[in-house]
């Protein structure tokens, strides 16, 4: 049987399919923007966006102060004393640079870890770097512990 361009099922011959697909595929590439110029443009856009991201990230680091050394201070709980059902004394060690004011939030907790007493304590500047501090807190019910919640520079 001689080769023909169509068979009984209506499909084309493989030789005809490649002849038709060759020029059509280059036309499709040009039609949908797949050219060397488009590749250069896409690469330029990606590089520009990457440089912009790096510039914004660097500006954020400088603005946020992440490149500077953080302030060196530390507060450690050293103990507590239950005075009565409505009072607890909290003791802590505070390490802060000389002549620096700070504040600390002190809390008392009950047996279910609920906060039953809270006080913000001003820590005045001193020429000592390391100090032992204590504060008495009034509570709304019986406390089972007292501790430092957080300290910050003022």
What SS3 class is residue 51? Answer: helix
Per-residue pLDDT tens for 70-111?
668 899 999 999 999 999 999 999 999 899 999 999 999 999
Say what the pLDDT of residue 73 is: 86
pTM: 0.55
Domain contains 6: no
HSE-up (13 A, CA, CB side) for residue 47: 6
Query: What backbone torsions phi and psi does residue 119 show, to the nearest 5 degrees?
Result: -155, 135
- Same domain? For 80 and 149 the reply is yes
Alpha-carbon distance 17 to 82, whole Å?
92
What span, in angstroms and rounded, lies between the C-alpha atoms of 123 and 15?
Answer: 90
pLDDT tens column, 23-73: 666 677 777 777 778 788 889 999 999 999 999 998 888 887 776 666 688
Q: Is 88 domain-assigned?
A: yes
Q: Final residue of a domain: which of 46, 64, 82?
A: 64
Residue 137 clears pLDDT 90, i.e. is over it: yes
94 belongs to a structural domain? yes
Q: Residue 143: what are its φ and ψ, rounded to 5°?
A: -95, 150
Residues 39, 86, single domain; the answer is no
The number of helix segments (H) and strand segments (E) in the chain equals 2, 6
Range of the domain at 109: 74-153
The answer to whether 88 and 80 have CB atoms below 8 angstroms apart is yes
């Amino acid at each position: 049987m001689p080769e023909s361009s169509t068979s009984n099922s209506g499909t084309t011959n493989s030789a005809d399919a490649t002849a038709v697909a060759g020029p059509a595929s280059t036309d499709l590439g040009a039609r949908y923007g797949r050219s060397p110029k488009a590749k250069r443009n896409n690469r330029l856009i990606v590089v520009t966006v990457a440089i912009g991201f790096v510039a914004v990230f660097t500006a954020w680091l400088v603005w946020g102060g992440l490149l500077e050394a953080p302030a060196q201070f530390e507060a450690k709980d050293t103990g507590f004393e239950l005075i009565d059902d409505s009072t607890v004394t909290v003791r802590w060690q505070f390490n802060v640079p000389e002549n620096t004011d700070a504040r600390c939030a002190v809390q008392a907790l009950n047996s279910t870890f609920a906060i039953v007493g809270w006080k913000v304590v001003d820590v005045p500047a001193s020429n000592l770097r390391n100090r032992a501090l204590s504060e008495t807190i009034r509570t709304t019910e019986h406390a089972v512990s007292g501790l430092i919640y957080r300290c910050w520079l003022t």
